Structure 1
């Protein structure tokens, strides 16, 4: 049996903490606080396509997991840790930095897996594992793949703790972009024309301002396939076994689109996929 995990305490000097560190700490506090609430976990577990894709990928790769030591980074409710035990993992470290860790432990206990899953309430950067890891699993993806994602933490853990022949789940990630047309955009602009019929005054002058405000914002929406006006371009493809933090900070791509026909282009939409060993892909 491996020794219990040790949590490393990091001490900061008090000689005038710099502003960037304070902002980063505040951001981290807000970030982890959001994951301590129930809503985000309800949303994630309700996404059966995503959760079942992970479940299928883990069970399909049981030969790489059976009898192995696994770290589940950002464990949340611990569902991926449970899947790993079901695939035969010898030991799973469920790393959860938010206060959800208390509920993670309750779920582990309820499923009688406390002999195989050890819940660690800490950030992965501060954890000292008592042994090298065979497998890293994490649902790390953020908006547009990289925004507020945990990938830098996952890569740091990989470099420090994963064995040379260790397995990353997922092991590939790709980001795509394509132009799209949006009927809702025109409807929102027409709103300012309709003011006349409702309140008997004109606000047509608001249209240019509304167009500017709408255009500069990033919107999180579902885009129908028929709204996409050209074949997508792959912005990047990362091999997560070898990708570095510099790779994440230097994503660049020149692209040209050839649209399917004549249409108004309102912006660009992005999506991504992640790949697992055994040719399993999850598209988001």
Structure 2
């Protein structure tokens, strides 16, 4: 069966080449940036110009002469949605995907959990003694500078203070652009141990629906997880090598590190919490247009229903 593939945001063309090597009869590789010029050279160097057509331009402005069987894209940004190309992927889906066609990835899930880290202490310790000089007067300004925006870094699973909640589950086969303008979810956590609450961590999974792949199989090169495994933290998946099952790539704290790591929302002043203490509130993620592709983050919560706290920032 002929399989025509569209790669949205192809970059230097790696995914397009993998699709051609896996048996795709035709690949359209689209990128709006000048990297598309380099992708053409890479495709030619791999003798795949007869299969892969590189198109330089925005999805919104281009035209294809035919519908496609599969749309692939590495659209995910930090915290899943920051600087992501999902809007362009949705437009490509609605314009060019055949009925019953395949989206890869097929689903995405964003998670939130409270965390504790040594970040505040490390900043304090550093400025208290800089080459024998007491610079502690700079500590408040240093913390403000360090924590005024979300930080992308790896956090250990041991630093997660409660099982995560699901912020958003996205069916990429059906989601509309307007659904992503603003995402709001209520959360409630019970702390698993006494610690200093440093803030919150966000991470995501993306799922590849393996049941629809025949006769265009994925040759998995990365550590995916099974959608049917016993979940760690209550929602993560165990690894699988069965390509008849859906495959999941996770960026969670307990999984192998990816370049996405986790997104940390640090509070300026940590809060001491006790094991069993309850925290509940609302997280809102809204599309921000200045700067473009940024996200406005707002968290409002209470501890044990008494003390009220608020936090908001922009992830650029």
TM-score by length of 2: 0.65
Distance (Å, rounded) in 1 between the aligned partners of 2:11 and 2:116: 36
Q: Supply the distance in 2 between the matched residues of 1:78 and 1:209 (Cα, whole angstroms).
A: 43
What's 1:117 paired with? 52
1:156 aligns with 2:91: yes
Give the number of the structure whose residues are more often strand, by fraction.
2
**1:248 pairs with 2:248:** no
Alignment length, in residue pairs?
216
Alignment gaps of 5+ in structure 2: 211-245, 252-316
From 118, 132, 146, give the equivalent of 1:198: 132
> Match for residue 184 of structure 1?
119
Contact 1:67 1:88 in 2 (8 A): no
Deviation at 1:208, TM superposition (A): 3.3
* Cα deviation 1:163-188 (Å, max 9, x = unaligned): 22111000100101111111132110
The whole-number CA distance in structure 2 between the counterparts of 1:229 and 1:83 is 39
Matches within 5 A, 1:46-57: none
Query: Deviations 1:242-269 (Å, cap 9, x if unpaired)?
Result: 0011221121111011111100011111
Gaps of 5+ in 1: 1-65
Residue of structure 2 equivalent to 1:8: none
SS at match of 2:110: strand
Find the aligned partners of 1:261 and 1:116 in 2 and give their Cα distance: 56
* Partner Cα distance (1:77, 1:225) in 2: 34
Tell me what 1:238 maps to.
170
Question: In 2, are the aligned partners of 1:229 and 1:261 still within 8 Å (CA)?
Answer: yes
2:63 to 128, 146, 149: 128
Answer 1 or 2: which has greater helix percent: 1
> The residue matched to 1:124 in structure 2 has which SS?
coil
Deviates more, 1:260-269 or 1:185-194: 185-194
